[in-house]
Amino acid sequence: MSITVQAQDPEEKSFTIRLQRPTGWYATPEGYWTTEFYKTAMMSREMRKKYKEASKQPDNTTLLYSFIKYDGQDRYNPSISVQSRKEEWQTLLGLRVEMSGIATNIKKLFREVQTIDEIQETTVGGYPAVYYSVRYLNQLFGSTTALRRSRYYLVLVGDYVINFDLRDNETDENCTDIYRYFMESVQLSL
């Protein structure tokens, strides 16, 4: 499965991203969601609103892909979200600073935050990136909480920043191996 992200100006560069969806996971377009997907989506939207307010940044991102491992339970399912935004003149140092802001906002929004991996540089699909891994206690519905594990990647591809957000519910399933395979499958090109 692949997508080409086109720049608005024909003289500017675009990029292509190819991904391997994990076996048994579902694409999550808006019209496809069941009631459980909808509940999870509403919670995600609420968290995005809180994150946007906390970061005081305009939301100029485009959702490229979203996958979820749906198992019929009314809980926060493992998910993968891939977004992009145009950002000229971004640097690897700039991505580290941005990731520091994300880490700070996570500490503001969630309880019992514990860093798994500090902000580190890596490559994704041959392009420079930074990642950060964290676990935290997430409020679900009513008084229900779940211990969540998240790994965030910011990848610099030409004039674009690609954000990978990989989450699982630590109390039910550890998707670390699935996420490692997924990130290894990512192919990027300008």
State residue 10's pLDDT score. Answer: 53
State residue 59's pLDDT score. Answer: 57
Q: Which residues of 84-112 are buried (b: 16+ CB within 10 A; e: fewer)?
A: bbbeeebeeeebeebbeebbebbeebbee
Sign of CA pseudo-dihedral 109, 110, 112, 118 = negative
The continuous run of DSSP H or E covering 44 comes out as: helix 35-55
State residue 166's pLDDT score. Answer: 87
State residue 31's pLDDT score. Answer: 37
Longest CA pairwise span in the chain (Å): 52
State residue 182's pLDDT score. Answer: 87
Cα separation of 41 and 165, whole Å? Answer: 14
| Domain ranges for the chain | 2-189
CATH class, range 2-189: alpha beta
State residue 38's pLDDT score. Answer: 47
State residue 32's pLDDT score. Answer: 38
The continuous run of DSSP H or E covering 16 comes out as: strand 15-18
How far from the centroid of its chain's Cα atoms is residue 123's Cα? Answer: 16
pTM to 2 decimal places: 0.76
Mean pLDDT by 10 residues, the chain (190 residues): 52 75 72 42 56 56 76 64 80 90 85 88 93 82 74 89 83 77 86
State residue 124's pLDDT score. Answer: 92
The residue type of 182 is: F
State residue 180's pLDDT score. Answer: 86
User: CA of 63: how far to CAs of 83, 143, 158, in Å?
Assistant: 4, 30, 18
